[in-house]
Amino acid sequence: MKHASKDRALSVDRSQSDVRPCVSTVTLPIVTLMPNVPGLRSCYAKVERLVYVGRMFDKIRLHAAGRLPAPYVPNLGKGFDGRGCSFLRVDYADLQAQVLAGVDDNAVLAWAWRKSGRRSDEACEV
Protein backbone atom coordinates (compact mmCIF):
# COMPACT_ATOMS: atom_id res chain seq x y z
CA MET A 1 0.00 0.00 0.00
CA LYS A 2 1.30 3.41 -0.95
CA HIS A 3 1.30 6.13 1.65
CA ALA A 4 0.38 9.65 0.71
CA SER A 5 3.32 11.97 0.70
CA LYS A 6 3.39 14.92 3.04
CA ASP A 7 2.65 17.20 0.09
CA ARG A 8 -0.46 15.39 -1.20
CA ALA A 9 -3.72 14.85 0.64
CA LEU A 10 -5.18 11.36 0.53
CA SER A 11 -8.65 11.44 -1.00
CA VAL A 12 -11.21 8.66 -0.88
CA ASP A 13 -14.08 8.29 -3.33
CA ARG A 14 -16.87 7.33 -0.90
CA SER A 15 -19.39 6.71 -3.69
CA GLN A 16 -17.61 3.47 -4.63
CA SER A 17 -16.53 2.53 -1.13
CA ASP A 18 -17.13 -0.81 0.59
CA VAL A 19 -16.71 0.91 3.92
CA ARG A 20 -19.56 0.09 6.27
CA PRO A 21 -20.21 1.58 9.66
CA CYS A 22 -18.65 -0.40 12.45
CA VAL A 23 -21.46 -2.02 14.38
CA SER A 24 -20.70 -4.33 17.24
CA THR A 25 -23.16 -6.80 18.64
CA VAL A 26 -22.70 -7.78 22.25
CA THR A 27 -24.57 -10.64 23.79
CA LEU A 28 -24.93 -10.21 27.51
CA PRO A 29 -25.47 -13.14 29.83
CA ILE A 30 -28.83 -13.40 31.49
CA VAL A 31 -28.39 -12.47 35.11
CA THR A 32 -30.81 -13.90 37.60
CA LEU A 33 -31.07 -11.81 40.71
CA MET A 34 -31.32 -13.76 43.91
CA PRO A 35 -34.44 -13.03 45.93
CA ASN A 36 -34.28 -10.67 48.89
CA VAL A 37 -34.37 -12.78 52.04
CA PRO A 38 -35.41 -11.37 55.41
CA GLY A 39 -32.77 -12.27 57.98
CA LEU A 40 -29.96 -12.64 55.44
CA ARG A 41 -27.21 -10.09 56.04
CA SER A 42 -25.31 -8.23 53.37
CA CYS A 43 -22.06 -9.87 52.37
CA TYR A 44 -20.36 -6.66 53.57
CA ALA A 45 -21.61 -6.94 57.16
CA LYS A 46 -18.69 -7.77 59.45
CA VAL A 47 -18.37 -10.31 62.22
CA GLU A 48 -15.26 -9.31 64.12
CA ARG A 49 -12.82 -8.38 61.32
CA LEU A 50 -14.40 -10.50 58.59
CA VAL A 51 -16.92 -9.70 55.90
CA TYR A 52 -19.19 -12.39 54.44
CA VAL A 53 -19.00 -14.98 57.25
CA GLY A 54 -22.11 -13.53 58.93
CA ARG A 55 -24.02 -14.03 55.70
CA MET A 56 -22.77 -17.61 55.50
CA PHE A 57 -23.92 -18.24 59.07
CA ASP A 58 -27.33 -16.72 58.24
CA LYS A 59 -27.72 -19.00 55.21
CA ILE A 60 -26.95 -22.04 57.36
CA ARG A 61 -29.57 -20.99 59.95
CA LEU A 62 -32.19 -20.03 57.36
CA HIS A 63 -31.72 -23.30 55.49
CA ALA A 64 -32.14 -25.32 58.68
CA ALA A 65 -35.34 -23.37 59.43
CA GLY A 66 -36.68 -24.00 55.91
CA ARG A 67 -36.64 -20.25 55.09
CA LEU A 68 -33.75 -20.14 52.60
CA PRO A 69 -35.10 -19.76 49.04
CA ALA A 70 -34.37 -22.64 46.67
CA PRO A 71 -31.92 -20.70 44.42
CA TYR A 72 -29.47 -20.43 47.33
CA VAL A 73 -29.47 -24.12 48.29
CA PRO A 74 -27.26 -25.61 45.52
CA ASN A 75 -24.41 -23.26 46.49
CA LEU A 76 -24.38 -23.95 50.21
CA GLY A 77 -20.81 -24.84 51.15
CA LYS A 78 -19.57 -23.88 47.66
CA GLY A 79 -18.54 -20.64 46.01
CA PHE A 80 -18.00 -17.93 48.62
CA ASP A 81 -19.05 -20.33 51.39
CA GLY A 82 -16.24 -22.64 50.31
CA ARG A 83 -13.79 -19.76 50.16
CA GLY A 84 -14.85 -18.63 53.62
CA CYS A 85 -14.29 -22.13 54.99
CA SER A 86 -10.90 -22.31 53.27
CA PHE A 87 -9.93 -19.00 54.84
CA LEU A 88 -11.08 -20.20 58.25
CA ARG A 89 -9.42 -23.58 57.56
CA VAL A 90 -12.51 -25.52 58.64
CA ASP A 91 -14.77 -28.02 56.93
CA TYR A 92 -18.20 -26.68 55.96
CA ALA A 93 -20.02 -29.55 57.70
CA ASP A 94 -18.12 -28.84 60.95
CA LEU A 95 -18.87 -25.12 60.65
CA GLN A 96 -22.51 -25.89 59.95
CA ALA A 97 -22.70 -28.02 63.11
CA GLN A 98 -21.23 -25.17 65.17
CA VAL A 99 -23.66 -22.62 63.74
CA LEU A 100 -26.64 -24.92 64.32
CA ALA A 101 -25.54 -25.62 67.91
CA GLY A 102 -27.18 -22.29 68.73
CA VAL A 103 -24.11 -20.27 69.65
CA ASP A 104 -23.67 -16.70 68.44
CA ASP A 105 -21.47 -15.65 65.53
CA ASN A 106 -18.53 -14.59 67.71
CA ALA A 107 -18.54 -18.00 69.42
CA VAL A 108 -18.50 -19.75 66.04
CA LEU A 109 -15.49 -17.67 64.99
CA ALA A 110 -13.79 -18.33 68.32
CA TRP A 111 -14.25 -22.07 67.66
CA ALA A 112 -12.73 -21.69 64.16
CA TRP A 113 -9.77 -19.70 65.54
CA ARG A 114 -9.15 -22.35 68.22
CA LYS A 115 -9.32 -25.11 65.63
CA SER A 116 -7.04 -23.55 63.04
CA GLY A 117 -5.38 -20.45 64.46
CA ARG A 118 -6.27 -16.77 64.15
CA ARG A 119 -5.52 -14.84 60.99
CA SER A 120 -3.52 -11.64 60.92
CA ASP A 121 -5.19 -8.28 60.37
CA GLU A 122 -3.49 -8.18 56.98
CA ALA A 123 -4.94 -11.56 55.98
CA CYS A 124 -8.40 -10.41 57.09
CA GLU A 125 -8.16 -7.28 54.94
CA VAL A 126 -7.29 -9.21 51.80
Q: Mind listing the pLDDT tens digit for each residue in 57-81?
A: 999 999 999 999 999 999 999 999 9
Instruction: Confirm whether 20 is domain-assigned.
Output: no
Cβ contact 50:124 at 8 Å: yes
Structural domain of residue 72, as residue ranges? 40-125
Q: What is the pLDDT of residue 113?
A: 95
Categorize the per-residue pLDDT at 27 as very low, low, confident or very high, splitting at 50, 70 and 90. Answer: confident
Mean pLDDT on 89-107: 96
Instruction: Confirm whether 56 is domain-assigned.
Output: yes
Cβ contact 59:81 at 8 Å: yes
Segment 70-73 long-range contacts (CB within 8 Å, at least 24 positions apart): 71/32, 71/34, 71/35, 72/34, 72/37
Instruction: Confirm whether 88 is domain-assigned.
Output: yes
Q: What is the pLDDT of residue 9?
A: 58
Instruction: Confirm whether 62 is domain-assigned.
Output: yes
Extract the runs of DSSP E, i.e. beta strands, from the chain.
46-47, 50-51
Query: Which of the 8 DSSP states describes residue 71?
Result: G
pTM here is: 0.72
Instruction: Confirm whether 6 is domain-assigned.
Output: no
**DSSP three-state, residue 73:** helix
Using the predicted structure, report yes or no on whether residue 118 has a pLDDT greater than 90: no
Instruction: Confirm whether 44 is domain-assigned.
Output: yes
Instruction: Confirm whether 116 is domain-assigned.
Output: yes
Instruction: Confirm whether 109 is domain-assigned.
Output: yes
Give the chain's domain count: 1
Mean pLDDT on 2-6: 55
